[in-house]
Amino acid sequence: MKVLANDGISKAGELALKEAGIEVLDNRVAQDHVINFINENNVDVLLVRSATKVRQDLIDACPSLKIVGRGGIGMDNIDVEYAIEKGLYVINTPNASSRSVAELVFAHFFSLARFLHESNRLMPLEGDTHFNALKKSFNNAYELSGKTLGVIGFGSIGQEVVKMGISLGMKVKVLTRKPKTKTISLSFFDGQTVDFEVTSTNDTDAFYKDTDFISINTPKTNEYVIDTPEFEKMEDGVFIVNTARGGVLNEVTLVDYIESGRVAGAALDVFETEPTPELILLMNPNLSLTPHLGGNTLDAQEKIGVELAEQIIEIKKKL
């Protein structure tokens, strides 16, 4: 069996595959040449992340393919249903990067609440000439403890965000299409585990009322999860972080509400026009920005590689 990990795979994942007698091709093939490469090398497994797209034309043109894998949660760059109809196994790693994404959410929350994103821009320019003025301009900061965290989406990432909020002493609300109850377990360094039962709501009025920090953790959607009606329900001075997908939040409307003062600040890791975000976003001092780094940690990539390898090895036994 041959595996093309076109967007890369961790050393741990590669080692697990090789130990199972599976050949791993470490080539990086441009999208336009993927089909030819797969056919010329008789590739059985194509592993991708967000860069390589697996559409119907590729699936039809590559009869040797048996498995398509996505390192991560979102599968929007793969025509999943079509691949399954054609008899391919489609795998992903829904849990491997959840913690990394959740930690990025709070990295942005801390950055926004303490003006770190803006301070890091201005200190190199004005730190030696306007030190005291900068210090004064950043003194209206907030602690997260005791504040209310609103989490939109209750999948694996949403649950990790809830865990981190609870561990910081935040009050937690969760918004889902249908109310559901989940047990959230927090594990500590000394082996203790504490369980919290959290029930989500589908009442948007109740969700947005008195909520100080909002994290969007939904799959890709066909329409905005947050647009004018939702912004109107929010409290003045709210902070928002989107690490989900571009297009779940109306970015133009977001800027309007930031400029009006209704939204204190926001962070975007994903963008509607990714990979070319709008200049109005890039230049806004009230935005904390990252280039789609949610699951991009060494820890997450190692877990993703191992999880993909384990699934491939199990499927190989069935073939």
* Catalytic annotation, residues: 245, 274, 292
What does the angle CA 51 – CA 61 – CA 72 come to, to the nearest 5 degrees?
A: 30
Would you give the DSSP letter of residue 33?
A: G
Give the three-class secondary structure for 131: helix
Rounded Cα distance between 315 and 17, Å, is: 12
What does the angle CA 196 – CA 182 – CA 177 come to, to the nearest 5 degrees?
A: 130
* Widest pairwise Cα distance in the chain: 68
Rounded Cα distance between 62 and 220, Å, is: 27
Give the three-class secondary structure for 302: helix
Rounded Cα distance between 252 and 254, Å, is: 5
